[in-house]
Amino acid sequence: MRTWKMISAIAALALLCATAAHAQTPQRGFSVVLLLGETQTTGAGDGLPPAPALRKALSDVKDFLPYRSYRVLDTQWLRGGSTRMKGLDDQEYDVDLTGDEIMPNPFHPKTGMLNVIFHLQEVGAAANPSEEFGRSVAAAEMQKRLAEMQRSLTNGTTVAEGGRARTSDEIAQLTKQIRMARARKLIDSKFEMAIGETVVVGTSKIGGDKGLVVLLTSVAGGK
């Protein structure tokens, strides 16, 4: 019985120390930066964003990226969990982020490291391949309807449907529905990073010579 009490006391002490160490972690949260990358330069300079940490992170992987210029689309700050970011043409993206500190151990002795899981998807992306297929069929049908409505509007005619004229507002609404039906998962990444480090999480093409580039900074707090 005495041995068991001693083991329990040691375990409780170890748990208390681990909890205290986690509570005192210098890691405060994450800065997420969404960039638009383009294969053509758009002006003077080297095409990199002005922030030093972003410039360094992009320079470190420049040989693996096809883009020559970058523009900041949105930035968000979060401790973890989910947020929403804005891109081109009112496109929105859902971000989900988990970052847990790696407690030093014999197999991973380095301190100040985080396990990060990062997801980026267009708002309303399908949950599985079966749903993606069904949505693609629906999107194709909606695209045909959209083409007919646009032709009617261009020709200066109105086509009644159920006693209601098709308008530019209806075209805008159908365009939005098509975008939602075609929403995709863009980046799923799991990696380690140091507290205070900035990394390029991943990239995703969005058409033509353009692509999204996501940078993540683990922001260190004060002591």
- Measured between alpha carbons, how far is residue 176 from residues 53, 145, 151, 164 in Å? 36, 13, 18, 20
Q: Say whether pLDDT at 153 is over 90.
A: no
Mean pLDDT across the chain: 80
Q: Say whether pLDDT at 35 is over 50.
A: yes
SS3 at position 157: coil
Q: Say whether pLDDT at 187 is over 90.
A: yes
Indicate left, alpha or beta for 39 from its phi (over 0: left) and psi (-120 to 50: alpha).
alpha
Cα R_g (the chain), whole angstroms: 24
Helix, strand, coil percentages for the chain (3-state, nearest 5): 35, 40, 25
Number of CB atoms found within 10 A of residue 72's CB:
14
- For residue range 55-77, what is the model confidence (pLDDT) as tens digits? 899 988 888 899 988 999 999 99
What is the pLDDT, as a whole number, of residue 6?
A: 34
d(CA 27, CA 22): 10
What is the pLDDT, as a whole number, of residue 183?
A: 84
Q: Please, which pLDDT band fits residue 222 given cuts at 50, 70 and 90?
A: low
Both tokens of residue 166?
């098709």
What is the pLDDT, as a whole number, of residue 182?
A: 77
Q: Say whether pLDDT at 11 is over 60.
A: no
The contacts of residue 64 (CB under 8 Å, 6+ apart) are none
> In DSSP terms, which residues pair with 85 in a beta bridge?
93
> If you ran DSSP here, which 8-state letter would residue 41 be given?
-
SS3 at position 186: strand
pTM for the model stands at 0.71
What is the pLDDT, as a whole number, of residue 158?
A: 53
> If you ran DSSP here, which 8-state letter would residue 108 be given?
B
- Enumerate the domain spans of the chain: 26-125+185-220, 129-179
